[in-house]
Structure 1
């Protein structure tokens, strides 16, 4: 535990050197720096260092790494922009997830693999004509429907990003390789479009998954400064076959969703609903025929409500108690979670998250208590 906490503290102290910076990102090089060949280049870095402790009720995870403390999703991001003029620029973005304990070879606290290429894309952007990017990046469905609900510790369980599909890194649930994304804003309306390029084979036990082509369309409308509405639809062709066999089954996957976010005063309320066709794998029998790999239809919904109190103290700035809900349904399976939590925010972008998950699922998942310490820069 000491190695993990030292790593966490080291990264946090490094960030304190930049604590006075108002932006979420740390500028390494700003446009107009009067440097030969680099005068039009802007470089920024940012990230989030996260450590966590969790405990499953019923002693189901006694002696696990979660009890000893683990990395809970530390990630670093890098952004570069090269400006041709005030309108046009080239852009590149790289975001890598990592497990700090893995750096130190501390297997008692390792929570996953060493690094995870979360996003890597490049493109061109114009204030007039919008932004066009290609690479591994967030899907338009995630940006419009799921991301507005990512506000608690054990979130995403009522959305494709939570992994009830094949894999949110490949099936467009959260992000995926081979995406061509376009976005532009017209007044109060933001338009997002997506084209999916076929990707490589991915193994899942005895099955092989391959995403073919596809497309998506989404939009967000700002009714006013406090109220935002979103909607999205995506389609993708998917091929499933058993490893070593040629018996292949084609599926047409569809995702349809809507979201709403409302932030009047100190309140924060958000909700989303989604419908999915041939998207959720049928994991009951590993020897099923490829034609039965996906369940037919699934649906999900999520909700969040929180209220932020500003505190006139030097050592703590805000506290937000909240309640949340997520639910998914398919075939005879029911997965419902309710949450109660509180976020305490401290100076220098530190925060402490304490949360209780109440589970009601067909596979009898336990209730979970979780504590997360987080530093953002």
Structure 2
């Protein structure tokens, strides 16, 4: 998330690792930054209980480490590279006690005149719009994870980004790409494109479209009732001024199974965020909704309202959030989907 947005909506989102990164080397043409976070989190929900363990507590702690650099070719063009890894404790401590996940690993070229072209494991073009509402510390911004081209991050992504003071245009292409989402977001080819415009200093509007195939082999073989494509279109709006951030995104389209079987469904989804920052405090309410028409996709359905408070102490943050689950049993694949949850956390960014 951009520092300018954090200055306006201030601290409603997870603290950007880039915002707290330290410069470890700098000369006339090159800059190297390093940063990260240590975040301890505790989640409480009946969904955490199992047949073997009747404990509603689950640890959700994590560590993120990143390093990024820039080398200027001239006053307009620079070469850039960035990588970030997340480390969590393995749920199988009898083997390795750490699990590693690649969040970012990309490089490219950036021009102040013509925009940036990057390739690797990175944000999709769609991420710019879904970040309008993905601003809470905990429960926001996860209904876009069912399409490789709309998920927050994916590998094998070629992305072009151009922006002025008012206009933002981004386009991305995926090749045999995976994301951190579900089985419908693996081994997929696709693309996405978005455009956003600030009609005032406080109001920004955006539109986007994305498409990927949904088959596990990464092919686009025809299936009954459709081609196996995931198609997603979105409209997004945000208002940010005087510590107030109001934002909403709508997603709609079709979703298909990953294995090439005869399942395809229309879906509708929506995210909303309303937050207020006063001093070093932030309070916010979020709403998340996703519904696929066909019962085959009930495991993806979401319907909840969330309340959150966060307190910021420079690089340190304390927060707590409660999720009121509104999903009915008839729209869920498992009982766990309908459970409320409460999460608290402490983060130190460096």
TM-score of the superposed pair, with normalisation by structure 1: 0.73
Alignment partner for residue 353 of structure 1, among 311, 319, 332?
319
Partner of 1:263 in structure 2?
A: 240
Alignment partner for residue 122 of structure 1, among 107, 127, 130?
107
- On the 8 A contact 1:275/1:299 being kept in 2, the answer is yes
1:180 aligns with 2:149: no
1:133 aligns with 2:118: yes
Q: Distance in 2 between matches of 1:184 and 1:157?
A: 23
Instruction: Identify if the C-alpha distance between structure 1 residues 239 and 369 changes in structure 2 by more than 3 Å, giving closer, same or farther.
Output: closer
Aligned ranges for residues 97-176 of structure 1 at < 5 Å? 97-99=86-88, 101=89, 107=93, 114-144=99-129, 146-156=130-140, 159-161=143-145, 165=146, 170=148, 172-176=150-154
Q: Distance in 2 between matches of 1:233 and 1:208?
A: 16
What stretches of structure 1 of length at least 5 have no aligned partner?
1-21, 33-39, 283-288, 311-317
Q: Distance in 1 between matches of 2:270 and 2:58?
A: 33
Aligned ranges for residues 1-377 of structure 1 at < 5 Å? 23-32=19-28, 40-57=29-46, 60=49, 67=57, 69-71=59-61, 73-99=62-88, 101=89, 107=93, 114-144=99-129, 146-156=130-140, 159-161=143-145, 165=146, 170=148, 172-199=150-177, 210-212=187-189, 214-240=190-216, 249=223, 250-279=227-256, 281=257, 290-293=260-263, 295-310=264-279, 318-331=280-293, 332=295, 333=298, 334-346=301-313, 348-361=314-327, 362-363=331-332, 364=335, 365-377=338-350
Q: Distance in 2 between matches of 1:258 and 1:200?
A: 24
Deviations 1:274-328 (A, max 9, x none): 013125x48xxxxxx83324x3211110111111221xxxxxxx11122111111
Deviations 1:210-252 (A, max 9, x none): 313x32211121222222222211122343469xxxx975522
- On the 8 A contact 2:273/2:287 being kept in 1, the answer is yes
| Secondary structure in structure 1 of the residue aligned to 2:201 | coil
- On the 8 A contact 1:336/1:359 being kept in 2, the answer is yes
Q: Distance in 1 between matches of 2:251 and 2:156?
A: 23
Post-superposition shift, 1:106? 9.2
TM-score of the superposed pair, with normalisation by structure 2: 0.78
Post-superposition shift, 1:209? 5.2
Q: Which has the higher contact order (CA 8 A, sep 6+)?
A: 2
Instruction: Identify if the C-alpha distance between structure 1 residues 74 and 229 changes in structure 2 by more than 3 Å, giving closer, same or farther.
Output: farther
Post-superposition shift, 1:197? 2.3
Instruction: Identify if the C-alpha distance between structure 1 residues 153 and 64 changes in structure 2 by more than 3 Å, giving closer, same or farther.
Output: farther
- On the 8 A contact 1:239/1:248 being kept in 2, the answer is no
Deviations 1:86-107 (A, max 9, x none): 11111111111111x45xx994
What stretches of structure 2 of length at least 5 have no aligned partner?
1-17
Higher radius of gyration, 1 or 2: 1
Instruction: Identify if the C-alpha distance between structure 1 residues 251 and 307 changes in structure 2 by more than 3 Å, giving closer, same or farther.
Output: same
- On the 8 A contact 2:150/2:192 being kept in 1, the answer is no
- On the 8 A contact 2:154/2:178 being kept in 1, the answer is no
Deviations 1:312-365 (A, max 9, x none): xxxxxx11122111111112545211111111112x311111111001223342
Provide the aligned length of Structure 1 versus Structure 2.
Answer: 313
